[in-house]
Amino acid sequence: MITQTMVQPSHWVEGGVKIQQVRGLNLFKFTEELQIRLEMLLEQKKEDCLTSEEATELAGITS
C-alpha cells in the first residue's frame, strides 16, 4: 500500500462532508462545492492532465 499525503485534508473533512440521519442511519454526503471539485478532478484525470497534488487530492476524496 502506498501512502499519499494531502496538503490540507481537514479542509474537506470539516467543510465538504455532511452527516445526515435517515431512518436511524447516519449517512454522509458531499457538499455541492466538494462534488464540483470531485467532478473537475475526474474530468482532468480522463484527459490525463492531473498534477501530482491533484492526483493525491482525488485519492483522498475517493478513499
The mean predicted confidence, pLDDT, of the chain is 82
State the pTM of this model: 0.69
Is the four-CA dihedral 1, 60, 55, 5 of positive or negative sign?
Answer: negative
Q: How far apart are CA 20 and CA 30, in angstroms?
A: 11
Q: How far apart are CA 60 and CA 56, in angstroms?
A: 6
Ordered DSSP codes for 11-28 = HHHHHTEEEEEETTEEEE
Query: How confident is the model over 29-59, as pLDDT tens digits?
Result: 889 999 999 999 999 999 999 998 898 888 8
Q: Which residue has the cell 481537514?
A: 10
Q: What angle separates helix 32-46 from helix 52-62, to the nearest 10 degrees?
A: 130
